[in-house]
Chains A and B, each alone.
Chain A
């Protein structure tokens, strides 16, 4: 069964081909598109389940390599196109196909009326294909194929409604910022090959302890370059600004690509190469510090956003920060645990916001009003019309806020607890823990704010629109309920050590993390401290939720069109600390200036066109003019030259 893992990869690709064909030939065949698009995901999920059970039943420790064919045989480099099945890739395989399947089902309802329905599902299938290549690839180049492929699909889907220039620009921004990170991946890959002579994961990780010096410059540089790639793909400081803009795409895309799966690829990469990071304490500390800072930074921006999807986008950036904090302190399983629970509750939040936007959009469509269907100031009190959506989103909110018992409570607490435990080694990690705790407080606050403004208080949509507000169809609420159950119960995957049945995921991932754990002391907390931290996490979550309830007044809010402009700190936060403006002034505009004035007008027009292209042409034309002047057409002239030539030759031959 494990040998059939390629089937899980191939199925979405076949779905892409079929839907791509339909997009060109039968764009109206929505039933066929839905059947193919969702069907291949269901089939892939079944295959994934089969692989997972076969692997678990076999009690494997070493990764199982499923080779397909020799891809790049050059000299003593021989890159196989091979898939690697081990504990980590199985977790990712199940998340991608499982959550992906639910989001595909949701899309059937959400995108049903869109003229680009077939194109949408073709892209979505292609994305799942590349994501599976990414998580199953058994070597750095194969992983990179998936890495680039999901970037491409992300670009295509952000700019899905490409007729609107802002959407196309957002796609370009995402693509370019990812490219910066990808350069880091490439250099790291070359460096790894130079150092170890191989690119397959098993060989590199086996050679790593022999080739690299713990804490040495080479390994530190490699890990930092790999992390640069992660900051691009997983939207960490300094390359995070593309993710909030990526919300220009359809909402299920935001759920699947920009929350549940693709953006977690960076976390997966760090977990996959955990032995390299374990050998580079500085590299790991950078990962943890950037993660904690990003968590706080993005959470602060989320506090004041009005666009419901922007709140969730910054929340995603912030939660990704937690994951990097987890893998950065060496607690690989805690990072992956948060990745999994985050895929559940953030996928649910995005889909829930999608059904809200869908409902509002339809209401405004009925009354022909051109209002922003994503602005929370146009919502309010929606729980009366959308009880299911409100209920499941509350579950997800409690999960992400870390309310005791919900999945996010356990995963976030574990990241923070292990960061705290790492404080024994260096005081920096106590600081990072504090940063993470403050970010957790903000998380609870902004999520409660979003829920209060969206579902509670008076309705601000408009009197005429209220008649058209209604709950979305079961195709959309079904996946929401499934994800809500997972958000509620996902915590049992990895309960804290002080509870019975604890640490299942950690134990499951041990074959993958064991090699890296060899290089670092075990993170351990006394039971009393662990209880204390659990209690503190509960207090933080409840305090954040309560503060939102106490401080915010949904009934005083005005619709977006009439709302007064923000002032002071609120404005700075609404404008996202002006980071986009700063990047624009520091990077984009100097680059454009350099490109236009120097490279285009100077180098291209002046040097290359002048000396390289037009110069030889001018010389050739000059020589041609002389030659053409001699061609008079008069035989006499030719004879004259002929005679002169003969005389000169004679002179040369008879010279004594």
Chain B
């Protein structure tokens, strides 16, 4: 089967997600990068489910449900932050600086 390429793609997507979170400044893009990482993990689960049985596919549904919830909450938070700060740029959100 095409396990190795599938895992390679998922690793690539995950790395892109991490890089995006680390490097981008816009909160919405960072948020989308987080989604990217979640879906990379989903891909890994599905690929491995071919060999290890259907449990992995079940977990993928869980992840999707959680991701949907997270998207709802996350976007609401971002909206709130924007109303407050008039910005969604991470460099402006530094109230915790020591």
State A636–B96 Cα separation when bound (angstroms): 12
State A632–B97 Cα separation when bound (angstroms): 4
Any chain B CB within 8 A of the CB of A643?
yes
Any chain A CB within 8 A of the CB of B21?
yes
A634 touches B22 (CB 8 A): no
Q: Which residues of A contact B90 (CB under 8 A)?
A: 634-636
B91 touches A634 (CB 8 A): yes
| B24 closest partner in A (C-beta) | A636
State A633–B98 Cα separation when bound (angstroms): 7
Which residue in B21, B91, B96, B97 is a CB contact (below 8 Å) of A639? B21
Any chain A CB within 8 A of the CB of B94?
yes
Residues of A within 8 A of B (CB-CB), count: 13
B22 touches A640 (CB 8 A): yes
B2-46 residues with Cβ-Cβ distance < 8 A to A are 18, 21-22, 25
Minimal beta-carbon separation of A600 from chain B (angstroms): 39
B22 touches A636 (CB 8 A): yes
Any chain B CB within 8 A of the CB of A628?
yes
- The interface residues of chain A, by DSSP majority, are classed as helix
Residue among A631, A634, A640 facing the most chain B CB atoms (10 A cut-off)? A634
Q: Which residues of B contact A635 (CB under 8 A)?
A: 90, 93
Any chain B CB within 8 A of the CB of A68?
no
Q: Which residues of B contact A639 (CB under 8 A)?
A: 21-22
| B95 closest partner in A (C-beta) | A633
Q: Which residues of B contact A629 (CB under 8 A)?
A: 98
State A628–B97 Cα separation when bound (angstroms): 8
Q: Which residues of A contact B25 (CB under 8 A)?
A: 636
B22 touches A627 (CB 8 A): no
State A536–B95 Cα separation when bound (angstroms): 102
Q: Which residues of A contact B22 (CB under 8 A)?
A: 636, 639-640, 643
Which residue in A631, A636, A640 is a CB contact (below 8 Å) of B98? A631
- The interface residues of chain B, by DSSP majority, are classed as loop
Any chain B CB within 8 A of the CB of A630?
yes
B18 touches A631 (CB 8 A): no
A627 touches B98 (CB 8 A): yes
A633 touches B21 (CB 8 A): no
B58-98 residues with Cβ-Cβ distance < 8 A to A are 90-91, 93-98
A633 touches B94 (CB 8 A): yes
Q: Which residues of B contact A636 (CB under 8 A)?
A: 22, 25, 90
State A639–B20 Cα separation when bound (angstroms): 11
| A629 closest partner in B (C-beta) | B98
Minimal beta-carbon separation of B84 from chain A (angstroms): 15
Q: Which residues of A contact B95 (CB under 8 A)?
A: 633
State A634–B89 Cα separation when bound (angstroms): 11
B18 touches A633 (CB 8 A): no
Minimal beta-carbon separation of A635 from chain B (angstroms): 5
A601-649 residues with Cβ-Cβ distance < 8 A to B are 627-636, 639-640, 643
| B21 closest partner in A (C-beta) | A639
Q: Which residues of B contact A640 (CB under 8 A)?
A: 22
Minimal beta-carbon separation of B40 from chain A (angstroms): 15
Q: Which residues of B contact A631 (CB under 8 A)?
A: 96-98
State A639–B31 Cα separation when bound (angstroms): 13
Minimal beta-carbon separation of A649 from chain B (angstroms): 15
| A635 closest partner in B (C-beta) | B90
Q: Which residues of A contact B96 (CB under 8 A)?
A: 631, 633
A634 touches B98 (CB 8 A): no
Q: Which residues of A contact B98 (CB under 8 A)?
A: 627-633
Minimal beta-carbon separation of B41 from chain A (angstroms): 14
Contacts A631-B97, A633-B93 aside, 4 further interface pairs with beta carbons under 8 A come to: A631-B98, A632-B97, A636-B22, A636-B25
**Top 6 closest pairs, chain A to chain B, by CB:** A631-B98, A633-B97, A633-B94, A628-B98, A633-B96, A635-B90
- Which residues of A come within 8 Å of B, CB atoms? 627-636, 639-640, 643
Identify 12 residue pairs between A and B in the complex whose beta-carbon atoms are under 8 Å apart, listed by A's number.
Answer: A629-B98, A631-B97, A631-B98, A632-B94, A632-B98, A633-B94, A633-B96, A633-B98, A634-B90, A634-B97, A636-B22, A636-B25
